[in-house]
Structure 1
Amino acid sequence: MGQKIINSIDHYTQYNNRCGWNQLLPEYRPKKTLCEDISPDVLIIGAGYTGIATAKKWREIRPNEQIVMIDASVSGENNSGRNSGFLLEVSLANDADAEQINRMKECNLLIARTTQKIFNEVRDSTIDCQIHRVGTFRAAASEVGKKSLRDYETFLKKSGLEYERFNKNQLHERLGTNYYSEGLYNSHCYLAQPAALIRALIEKLPNNIDLYENTPALSIKKDKKSWLVNTPKATIRSKKIVIA
């Protein structure tokens, strides 16, 4: 008998209402539900950003392996679509010490390259993601806020990240409010319609990556050298699984 690792029938998220971002888009035709037993080389549980990135990277490294993704819901109905749509290119750890700065620079470079890759991939999609590089403002109205802003500026300088400083009048001209007395702007942020973005990334998946939606993993069990994953209508046997 194999050892049961997880029994999740009561734990996967089930929302009472549809994602608002999805409701602004044309009706989505879900990918088919898994209805027959399969044995892929690798199974990826979760078809959000992590799952999609994992599947594509796995295909790049091992192009001859069969890759399957399953998701308990449909495109954009989980966290990947239920967010504010910010894609930050940099970490915001303004309290990082000098020893961490070099590591953070490397992380920021990796994030920036990844974000640019996403932008390049979806801009010719049939789905309008409304993705633009708009940057972010961080502004202060109190002494506490000003101190935080100075700390953030120090972090930006140490990290070698370009930014602009704005005074009260300049902020009013850009933001339309007199509330803030000073602020900083940096360009390292994209803004997108999140449900559209995840749909576009799914649309761009290679044909040899199979995605099944409305297919929750109800249990995961180790069976000798394989994993057995039960779904409502089928069982998946795979030597490798990734919970994304």
Structure 2
Amino acid sequence: MILPRYDRRCGWYELLDSVSDHPVLTDDIDVDVLVIGAGFVGCAAARRMAENRPDDSVLLIDALKVGQGASGRNSGFVIDQPHKRDLESADETLKQKILRLNRVAVEYLETQIQRFDIDCQWSHAGKYQAAVGTRGIKHLDHYESLLKKGGETYHRLTRQEMQDVFGTDFYSAAIHTPGGALMQPAALMRGLADSMPSNVRVAERTAVSAITRTSKGFEVRTGKARIKCRQLILGTNIFTAELGYMADRILPIMTFASMTAPLSDEQMQRFGGRLDWGITPADHGGTTLRMTQDRRLIVRNSYRYAHDYNTPQAMIPMIAERHRAAFDARYPQLDDVAFEYTWGGASGLSANFETYFGELEHNVFASCCDQSVGAARGTISGMMLADMASGRKTELLQDMQRVSGNPSRLPPKPLLRVGVPLRLALERFRSRSEV
């Protein structure tokens, strides 16, 4: 069984001032609900389950420290707008359901942040989508047409506005949508885990080695303990396959990010832009760019088929060079700004771009194939998995079931290991003007 590993490279996690400790599970335990994976799905599911059934015991476990996994490695966007493929759907009702679900997730996260005073650089900064060349502008124009059709609020920036915000004249066009949020993902995940209801126990560095069905539910083995439970909720995304589910449905794709040292006062003057914004590329093969509240610029691009689930350390120098080239193209005036961290993080895709949500088998609930929009999607999925497991029949749950699908079967792994890298290389070549 392949387990997640932490490589001490993720800037978000390494910059945390202090990290609380939820001890490794060493005692055999009997609980009502076991939630495996303390990312966006798992944290939301554990909290919601505790809210739904306050007299039940809930155990939330993670193979790593909370915030070290995929949920703490993203670029810090909580996106309310549907993914572009969803926006292209002819079903307007479907798009409105996705919007509603995502916005409930944003509100739910914000409620916890405010209630428990979670310091995670949370802000309603919205999201920019930007283009560089002809290919990118074509994608951006199409995105604008979809926003218009859906009656969504947005603003197309002038060149001067782009310069004022981004501190660069690299981009040719950009659109701002106001609904989403930005945050420090590792800090958010730590805060969510540290503020669980009293009937939720959290155990870190507690990896699952086996799951066995029993007459009363399940027996789950970890390195040092056995857990008996009535219900299982899996917030394990790409690692769901290692637990025996969705093995031929989830395509693990890793993307990489680099984070600079904080800009000095003098470097900020040369930068000339604002703090606290994020750009996603109009062409999905382009570069994501963030400026944090603490003056750090983040560059994200490059993809690989993560057949081994974890970051190959031998790739890091090459990835850092790519990120440096993208950074220098945008900020030649900041050539003395160094990268402090470079890391990879994996998300789960599917061949037909469908997400999975539901009951895998009796009393085993899961959400996976997040299609690279895991913060909002994962949060609302975890909430609704808890509602489903609790027997709550709500309109939001009906909406979640309506917008979810059945990920199609993937080709055999030997073919994937050849075909996926070739496809990614082709997409990188096609999108080279946007990187």
When normalised by structure 1's length, the TM-score is 0.88
1:47 is aligned to 2:38: yes
**Aligned counterparts of 2:12 and 2:172: Cα–Cα separation in 1:** 34
Instruction: Spell out the pairing of 1:82-161 with structure 2 (5 A cutoff).
Output: 82-93=73-84, 96-97=87-88, 99-161=90-152
Residue 70 of structure 1 corresponds to which residue in structure 2? Answer: 61
Distance 1:169 1:107, change over 3 A: same
Partner Cα separation in structure 2 for residue 131 and residue 172 of structure 1: 24
Within the alignment, does 1:224 sit opposite 2:215 as a pair? yes
**Counterpart amino acid of residue 85 in structure 1:** G
- State the identity as a percent: 33
Query: Residue 146 of structure 2 aligns to which amino acid in structure 1?
Result: F
Q: Letter of the 1:64 partner, please give it.
A: D
* 2:129 aligned counterpart, secondary structure: strand
Q: Which amino acid aligns with 1:104?
A: K
Partners of 2:43 and 2:193 within 8 A in 1: yes
CA distance in 2, matches of 1:136, 1:96: 16
User: Structure 1 residues 97, 75: CA separation in 2 closer, same or farther (over 3 Å shift)?
Assistant: closer
Find the residue that maps to 2:84 and give its secondary structure: coil
SS of the residue 2:68 aligns to:
coil
For residues 68-97 of structure 1, the C-alpha deviation after alignment (integer angstroms, 9 at most, x for no partner) is 111111121111211211111111326744
Query: What residue is the counterpart of 2:312 in the other structure?
Result: none
Deviations 1:4-60 (A, max 9, x none): xxxxxx311112325322221123132021111111111111111101111122223
RMSD of the TM alignment (CA)? 1.9
Answer yes or no: is the 8 Å Cα contact 2:71–2:189 preserved in 1: yes
- 1:188 counterpart residue number: 179
Distance 2:202 2:116 in 1: 18
- Per the alignment, in what secondary structure is the counterpart of residue 146 of structure 1? helix
Alpha-carbon offset, residue 153 of structure 1: 0.6
Range that drifts further, 179-188 or 118-127: 118-127
Give SS of 2:91's match: helix
Distance 1:220 1:159, change over 3 A: same
Alignment-derived partner of residue 205 in structure 2: 214
Which residue identity is paired with 1:76?
G
Q: How many Å separate the matches in 1 of 2:171 and 2:10? A: 33
Match of 1:31 among 22, 29, 40: 22
CA distance 1:25–1:141, change in 2 (3 Å): closer
Instruction: Tell me, in whole angstroms, the C-alpha distance in 1 between the residues paired with 2:138 and 2:29.
Output: 58
Deviation at 1:100?
2.2
Separation in structure 1 between the aligned mates of residue 124 and residue 222 of structure 2, nearest angstrom: 40
- Counterparts of 1:171-182 in structure 2 under 5 Å? 171-182=162-173
Equivalent position SS for 1:74: coil
Give the TM-score taking structure 2 as reference length: 0.51
Contact kept? 2:217, 2:231, Cα under 8 Å: yes
The residue type paired with residue 125 of structure 1 is: F
Task: Report the Cα distance in structure 2 between the residues aligned to 1:24 and 1:98, rounded to whole angstroms.
Answer: 40
1:22/1:146 CA distance change after superposition, 3 Å:
closer
Given that 1:66 and 1:208 are in contact with CA atoms closer than 8 Å, whether structure 2 keeps it comes out as: yes
Bigger relative CO (Cα 8 Å, ≥ 6 apart): 1
Q: Is the Cα contact below 8 Å between 2:86 and 2:95 reproduced in 1?
A: no
Cα pair 1:94 1:151 within 8 Å, conserved: no
- Provide, for residues 170-224 of structure 1, a one-character-per-residue CA deviation record: whole Å limited to 9, x for no partner: 3223323223333211112211111111111112210111111111111111123
Deviations 1:131-185 (A, max 9, x none): 1111222223322222211110111112221001123233223323223333211
Cα distance 1:173–1:212, how it changes in 2: closer, same or farther (>3 A)? closer
> 1:210 is paired with a residue of what secondary structure?
strand
1:23/1:233 Cα in 2 relative to 1: closer, same or farther (>3 Å)? same
Number of equivalent positions: 235
SS where residue 40 of structure 1 aligns?
Answer: strand
The residue aligned with 1:19 is: 10
Deviation above 6 Å: which 4+ runs of structure 1? none
Please tell me whether the aligned partners of residues 162 and 186 of structure 1 are also in contact (alpha carbons under 8 angstroms). yes
Provide the C-alpha distance between the structure 2 equivalents of 1:125 and 1:17, rounded to a whole number of angstroms.
27
Unaligned runs of at least 5 residues, structure 1: 1-9
The alignment status of 1:239 with 2:217, answered yes or no, reads no
Name the CA distance, whole Å, in 1 between partners of 2:168 and 2:18: 38
Matched residue type, 1:49: F
